[in-house]
Structure 1
């Protein structure tokens, strides 16, 4: 589940922040001119600032005293406190206590 979560979020971030991103183009994603670089950078910043209005996931800006400029990206997640995987016999030993983190 952790691997799936990471992979799905990586894909979501690519679609959100990489200009003209297409699935399956993971082999190369490059810009070759200053103009392209600036276009891609401005695109990523604009999309980052639009997170509250565009995303349907759990991504949000940090609010309150803990953030200086209140525009830092925060990922709310829940995870198990402890877990061990034994690859020899494909068994999991997971503590069922869930921790919520930001």
Structure 2
């Protein structure tokens, strides 16, 4: 945790002065987006919340033991507050994930 009091900055364990205004800055990673999948008319649509201006990379693996993740060659499209990609729904089963670069 980082605490700022005026121009002074402390990190880690600190003894705070008894008076004064405090600005507390927490350095935490942004929340992970939740991936939603919809199968419709032979297409698989993946959707997740647009937490930033750059979308996450969509990856695929046919199995989880051991995983062999590979980037999908699709460009996510911004739709309102979400990113979406559409893929052909073929016979192969697999797993998808989002990766921040």
Q: TM-score range by the shorter chain?
A: under 0.3
Which structure carries more strand by proportion? Answer: 2
TM-score normalised according to structure 1 size:
0.25
Which structure carries more helix by proportion? Answer: 1
Structure with the greater relative contact order (CA < 8 A, sep ≥ 6): 1 or 2? Answer: 2
